[in-house]
Amino acid sequence: MKDLVIIGGGPAGMSAAVAAYESGIRDILILERDNALGGILQQCIHNGFGLHKFGEELTGPEYAWRYEKKVRELGIPFELNTMVLDISEDKVITATSAEKGVFQIQARAVILAMGCRERAKGALNIAGARPAGIYSAGTAQKLVNMKGYMPGKKVVILGSGDIGLIMARRMTLEGAKVEAVCELMPYSGGLARNIEQCLNDFDIPLKLSHTVVKIHGKKRVEGVTIAKVDENRRPIPETMEFIECDTLLLSVGLIPENELSKCAGVDLDRITSGAVVDQDRQTSCEGVFACGNVLHVHDLVDFVSEEAEIAGKSAAAYINGVKGEKISVSLRTDGKIRYTVPQTITECKDISVYFRVADVYRNVKINVYSGDELIFSKKRPKVAPGEMESIKLACDKFKDASELMFKLEEV
Amino acid sequence: MNTKRELTCIVCPIGCSLVAELCDGKVVSVTGNTCPRGKVYAETECVAPMRTITTTVKCKNGEMLPVKTATPIPKEKMAEAMEIINKANPDLPISVGDVIIESVFGSKIVAAKNLD
Ligand SMILES: Cc1cc2nc3c(=O)[nH]c(=O)nc-3n(C[C@H](O)[C@H](O)[C@H](O)COP(=O)(O)OP(=O)(O)OC[C@H]3O[C@@H](n4cnc5c(N)ncnc54)[C@H](O)[C@@H]3O)c2cc1C
Ligand code: SF4
């Protein structure tokens, strides 16, 4: 029996462990399938991490180290090379490692912090064979940054999310020529700063409303045909253009890694593909919490740490049997706002609500209604799907409500 | 004569759209910045743009070590800097912050990870 088992030793798992420890829990175990702590940050060698949390710009491995150091200093136990296979509804965890074989642990509380994986689709509807030279952007990142292996010399990137942009710069610095970044949507899903410093700095063209329609080559990629798309995202034949290249990177998004959550019987949100949680990041299964990219995909690790601290503290409170004033509020959205995390509020306390929008909107207000009453309003000059938003709500605003409606309205 | 230049601030993830007004190659005003760092960015960006490089070097045992410039270097020197950095071949053990190369275009190259 363990008080708290944390699955995943990325920034979410480590922050949650530290927060739980600082809330008085000592019987903690982190299980990590990789051979080191740090999660995806280990391969994110670029800087841009930690501005919120530490007030300085760190690289991924440096940010991870700040937390690993704390975990080590506090003596929080972790087991590496240990893959969790199953979590039962009564919180029995089945895991396997070369050292121990298959083993089980009964936990009083569990924190899910398994991160996310890259979407595989996007490649599926492109014509042509599947020659060597097609990689997901994340795989290419791992090859270049951790193995020191360059996947190719002439590159086209499909998808303009941050990983694709970061890889455009990375491969250019290592001597490759990035011919173009194609983005299906009329806007980029990546941060403006990354378009500037990863593409514009190197004169790499960003082709918005463009897609790859054909991959050429039998054994190895020899080129791609790209085309502009119309409003319905259908390729326009007259705009087809051949680009010679030996590598195609796909950067078409991330999706929470929730196979295990399904085993535990946790309710999932259709939109986030992560668990449905309350303000404490507790899932529909009592004593099972979730945080980080397994809950919803974050672009900033600082918010991952923040969320994980909430989960860690709340798991500690759960283990210690601390209970607050119960309420029951569900959070709903108008579609322009796609989702919120948390999705429910079950206890009366001040909270932060995180969400994403469906499209790029300018000069809007984020309005929150309880019935007809406007309980919160905030102006934003611009909101975009690539950038997570957050607002703070005081408990006295919603404690008598049963439902809160989140709307994006014109100013 | 005054000219205007549009920029995207790259100092933090907010990425404000800036407009710098230049007179005789000097920045006379900056608008669009949410914080003072944006103004400083526009002023250097228009005159002598600087960038941080993050990359890797291969250690003697074959492992890849992430490194970075401790302070930004001139933007136009990035390719040359990469050539110099790529020649490094450090010995282990290495701790975060260890200096791998003393000076590349005015900046130290430091380790961003522990390797033992
Ligand atoms: C390519 C890329 C670039 C990014 N760039 C930036 C940036 O510039 N600035 C920024 O602030 N943020 C950036 N982010 C976002 C940030 O890095 C992530 O949001 C953050 O790392 C997520 O942390 P996590 O702990 O939730 O997930 P992860 O870091 O993915 O950690 C999850 C861990 O769980 C482990 N795990 C999974 N399943 C199991 C299992 N069954 N058993 C045991 N262990 C398991 C994994 O091995 C992994 O170590 C970037 C993300 C990516 C992918
Ligand atoms: S001006 Fe300030 S807030 Fe805006 S992007 Fe630059 S550093 Fe960030």
Q: Find, in chain B, the residue whose alpha carbon is nearest to that of A55.
A: B12
CATH number at residue A223: 3.50.50.60
Q: How far is the CA of B39 from the centre of ligand 2 (A)?
A: 9
| Contact call for B54 and A192, based on CB within 8 A | no
Residues in B closer than 8 angstroms to A191, CB to CB, are 13, 15
- Closest by CA to B111, choosing from B55, B66, B52, B71, is B66
Q: Find, in chain B, the residue whose alpha carbon is nearest to that of A196.
A: B8
Stretch A176-193: mean pLDDT:
93
Mutating to test ligand 2, I would choose from B8, B14, B19 the residue with most ligand atoms within 8 A of its C-beta, which is B14
Per-residue pLDDT at A148 exceeds 90: yes
| Contact call for B8 and A192, based on CB within 8 A | yes
> How many domains is chain A partitioned into structurally?
3
Answer with the one of A272, A300, A323 that is the final residue of a domain. Answer: A323
- Closest by CA to A351, choosing from A300, A299, A302, A404, is A404
Size of interface A-B (CB pairs under 8 A): 72
Answer with the one of A305, A323, A341 that is the final residue of a domain. Answer: A323
CA distance, residue A173 to nearest chain B CA (Å): 7
Structure tokens at A78: 């972790």
Q: Find, in chain A, the residue whose alpha carbon is nearest to that of B49.
A: A201
Per-residue pLDDT at A384 exceeds 90: no
Atom of ligand 1 nearest to the CA of A300: 11
| Contact call for A196 and B55, based on CB within 8 A | no
Structure tokens at A62: 């440096």
| Of A59, A173, A196, Cβ closest to residue B66 | A59
Q: Find, in chain A, the residue whose alpha carbon is nearest to that of B113.
A: A61
Measured CA to CA, the distance from residue A104 to residue A92 in angstroms comes to 7
Stretch A339-364: mean pLDDT:
94
Render pLDDT for A352-381 as a digit per residue (tens, 0 to 9): 999 999 998 999 999 999 999 999 999 998
| Contact call for A62 and B113, based on CB within 8 A | yes
| Of A47, A196, A201, Cβ closest to residue B54 | A47
Stretch A311-335: mean pLDDT:
95
Per-residue pLDDT at A17 exceeds 90: yes
Answer with the one of A252, A278, A308 that is the final residue of a domain. Answer: A252
Angle at B70 between CA B67 and CA B76, to 5 degrees: 90
Residues in B closer than 8 angstroms to A302, CB to CB, are none
The helix or strand, by DSSP H or E, that contains position A319, with its residue range, turns out to be: helix A301-319
pLDDT tier, A130 (very low <50, low <70, confident <90, very high otherwise): confident
Per-residue pLDDT at A166 exceeds 70: yes
Q: State pTM to two decimals.
A: 0.93
Sequence-ordered list of residues with C-beta below 8 angstroms from that of B112, at least 6 positions apart, any chain: A45, A59, A61, A62, B54, B65, B66, B67, B68, B96
Render pLDDT for B37-95 as a digit per residue (tens, 0 to 9): 999 999 999 999 999 999 999 999 999 999 999 999 999 999 999 999 999 999 999 99
| Contact call for B13 and A59, based on CB within 8 A | no
Burial class (CB in 10 A: 0-12, 13-18, 19+), A377: middle
Instruction: Give residue ranges with CB within 6 A of ligand 1.
Output: A 7-13, 31-34, 39-41, 44, 46, 48-49, 83-84, 113-115, 138, 141, 162-163, 166, 257, 260, 292-294, 298-302, 304
List chain B domain ranges: 2-48, 54-111
Atom of ligand 1 nearest to the CA of A295: 26
pLDDT tier, A122 (very low <50, low <70, confident <90, very high otherwise): low
Residues in A closer than 8 angstroms to B66, CB to CB, are 45, 59-61, 145
Q: Find, in chain A, the residue whose alpha carbon is nearest to that of B80.
A: A173
Q: How far is the CA of A293 from the centre of ligand 1 (A)?
A: 6
Mutating to test ligand 1, I would choose from A93, A102, A293, A296 the residue with most ligand atoms within 8 A of its C-beta, which is A293
Per-residue pLDDT at A120 exceeds 80: no
Measured CA to CA, the distance from residue B24 to residue B6 in angstroms comes to 17
| Of A45, A192, A193, Cβ closest to residue B66 | A45
Measured CA to CA, the distance from residue A259 to residue B108 in angstroms comes to 44
Task: Looking at the structure, tell me whether residues A319 and A365 fall in a common domain.
Answer: no
CA distance, residue A84 to nearest chain B CA (Å): 26
Stretch A265-283: mean pLDDT:
95
Measured CA to CA, the distance from residue A302 to residue A298 in angstroms comes to 9
Q: Are B97 and B68 in contact (CB under 8 A)?
A: no
pLDDT of residue A246: 97
Residues in A closer than 8 angstroms to B57, CB to CB, are none
Distances (CA, A) of A47 to A108, A118, A171: 38, 21, 16
Per-residue pLDDT at A67 exceeds 90: yes
Task: Looking at the structure, tell me whether residues A133 and A187 fall in a common domain.
Answer: yes
Task: Looking at the structure, tell me whether residues A138 and A124 fall in a common domain.
Answer: yes
| Contact call for A145 and B78, based on CB within 8 A | no
pLDDT of residue B14: 83
A208 lies in which domain range? 120-252
Best A173, A195, A303 residue to mutate vs chain B (most B CBs within 10 Å) = A173
